[in-house]
Structure 1
Amino acid sequence: MKKRLFMLSILGISISALLAGCNPGGGPGSNLSLGMDAIEAQEYSEALTCLNRALAEGEDKRLTYRGLGIAHMGLGEYDRAVDDFMNSLKGSNGLVGKLDYDINYYMALSQFKSGDLDAALDTYNAILGLDDKQADAHYLRGRIELLKNDKTAALADFDRAVELKSSDYDLYISIYEALDDAGDKQDGENYINMALQKNGRMTDYQSGLFSYYLGKYDEARQSLEAARKDDESDKLVLYLGRSYEALGDINYAATLYREYLEKDPDSACIYNEEGLMYLKQEEYMKALTAFENGMALNDPSYNQSLMFNEAVTYEYLLDFKKAAVLMKEYIEKYPDDEEAQREYIFLSTR
């Protein structure tokens, strides 16, 4: 049975990563502030306790309902999240501001995650009806349109998004990934090539990243090695290592990851990638150690991937009981992962 593994790119946006951003709260020590701090820590049940207390004690209703919506999203309770965001929007003074857009973006994501694509599309339509220059809304609406098999509309939205953010390199790659996921890699590569043509002042790192996504691994390696002379971030090392792996030089990739972790032992990103590499080599105990080391860092951006990969590693080790326990803990924390739920049912029967 082929297992899914989390291989997060720098653009892979998990729910936890999104929820950790843009979280205005009340004053220090307020229930609202404590609730938003709990959301940052991915302690969503604790957040609900604090935020419901904030409502009861008359703290800012608009921000509190927004926080409740985010907490319910974190718990996978998307219908309740939509209700919370609607209540938050009711507190608007009628003048559309940044907070209104912020709440609508969260609400659209909740609608999408609940399976209501039409409602999500309506929300993005509303955002763009107020401001057609919202590039993120064009991109996200395009994702919905792809799922609804309206490729023409999706490409129009993607084109508008890159028109508005022509120098946003991450956006081009996000569009590539969306089209690739939809089985249209060719159109995805067209956006990568468009980025290369439009942006002549690209750094070695950016050039290497685009080359990697185009499958030009040797060019990616060369550009990333050049970039490494000036700046060796974990994201650069991640894609440099992946390029070497794609070229068949797994040993050198392993050396890259190990040398980087010796210099910076606080990179959950590289621990995750090292673990995935060891899994490919069927060195399961080394993989397990890498994932456990990464989890010990408690990095919200990588906790989900590391937790899932740890459970899968125990399965490869044929310790199905331990794998089932870990997968149960995983789906309790990330209940919207339907594939993990199916995996847990499978493990429970072993």
Structure 2
Amino acid sequence: MSRGIKRFLAGTGVFCILLISGCGRSQEEKQLRLAGIEQLDQGNYEEAIVSFEQALKAADGKVGNMELDILKYRGEAEYKSGDFLAAAHTYDVLIQVDGQLPEYLYGRSICYAGAGQLEEAGADYTQARNMDVQMDREVSWNMEALLALGKGYQAAGENQKAADLYDSAIAGGAIASAEMYNVLGAAQIEAGMYDKALQLLDQGIALGDQAAMGDLMYNKAVALEYSGEFSRALDLFLQYKASYGSDEKLEKEIAFLSTR
């Protein structure tokens, strides 16, 4: 899972159930937790998992803020190590001790998607999404879970399911930023669904967010190129160059399209 959402995976969060207060934890547990975080940040995922396991053992069966935090870190380390089902099991434990919070269901959905268990991933995603709505709060529809499930469908050749999923998210207000339209548009390019990619990228461009505009323009040009609209793609790449500068990759694109 991306480090960009680390607060979701490894932050303290707001917990519905605390079996025992997190105060007064042993120094051993705290030190092992910190060691695991450092190993995780360094990419030593297996070592991090061991440290988090030892930290939980040092808790001697107690479950409170710190232990929930350690479990979330362990889930992240397991996911990044490629052991998706172990990470899903860690979310099982979190759900058992802390309740069916949407963030846990989204997290488990991501893990199931990584493991190719798309039915389970879809069920968790849908339940979390519905809980967001029922709680009458701003619908988070965690973007990483949305993308993980959509890419899982695409990897399985179920492109229509991915498209329907994204359409549902857009219709429900899940995508509120130009950056997210760009991410979904890029995912559709990877799936070879260029018309859908162009639709999403145009929706992002229409928001007028200058911080995301460069990426949206570049990806739109790529989608146009892949769909065979070479003249339009060249024009857009030249506009991009005029606004954002050039590099070797862009010059190669321009040179290629100039000969079409």
1:106 offset after TM fit, Å? 3.9
1:40-79 residue pairs with structure 2 within 5 A?
40-59=80-99, 61-79=101-119
Whole-angstrom distance in 1 between the partners of 2:200 and 2:141: 23
Q: 1:183 to 1:77 in 2, by over 3 A?
A: farther
TM norm structure 1: 0.44
Residue 121 of structure 1 is matched in structure 2 by 163
1:35 offset after TM fit, Å? 0.9
Give the conservation status (yes or no) of the 8 Å contact 1:192–1:210.
yes
1:129-169 C-alpha deviation (Å, 9 max, x unpaired): 32775334544358649979784x65444333234344543
1:266-345 residue pairs with structure 2 within 5 A?
none
2:237 to 178, 182, 192: 192
4+ residue segments displaced more than 6 Å: 145-150
Whole-angstrom distance in 1 between the partners of 2:200 and 2:109: 27
Whole-angstrom distance in 1 between the partners of 2:149 and 2:75: 19
TM norm structure 2: 0.57
Residue 268 of structure 1 is matched in structure 2 by none
Counterpart residue type for residue 217 of structure 2: Y
Give the conservation status (yes or no) of the 8 Å contact 2:194–2:223.
no
Residue 81 of structure 1 is matched in structure 2 by 121
1:268-309 C-alpha deviation (Å, 9 max, x unpaired): xxxxxxxxxxxxxxxxxxxxxxxxxxxxxxxxxxxxxxxxxx
Residue 160 of structure 1 is matched in structure 2 by 203
Residue 321 of structure 1 is matched in structure 2 by none
Residue 254 of structure 1 is matched in structure 2 by none
1:172 to 213, 217, 224: 217
In structure 1, the residue corresponding to 2:255 is in which secondary structure?
coil
1:54-85 C-alpha deviation (Å, 9 max, x unpaired): 22323553222211111122223333221221
Residue 22 of structure 1 is matched in structure 2 by 5
2:137 to 95, 99, 102: 95
In structure 1, the residue corresponding to 2:5 is in which secondary structure?
coil
Count residues in correspondence.
Answer: 193
Whole-angstrom distance in 2 between the partners of 1:63 and 1:149: 30
1:44 offset after TM fit, Å? 1.8
Whole-angstrom distance in 2 between the partners of 1:115 and 1:145: 14
In structure 2, the residue corresponding to 1:25 is in which secondary structure?
helix
Whole-angstrom distance in 1 between the partners of 2:140 and 2:175: 15
Q: 1:75 to 1:180 in 2, by over 3 A?
A: farther
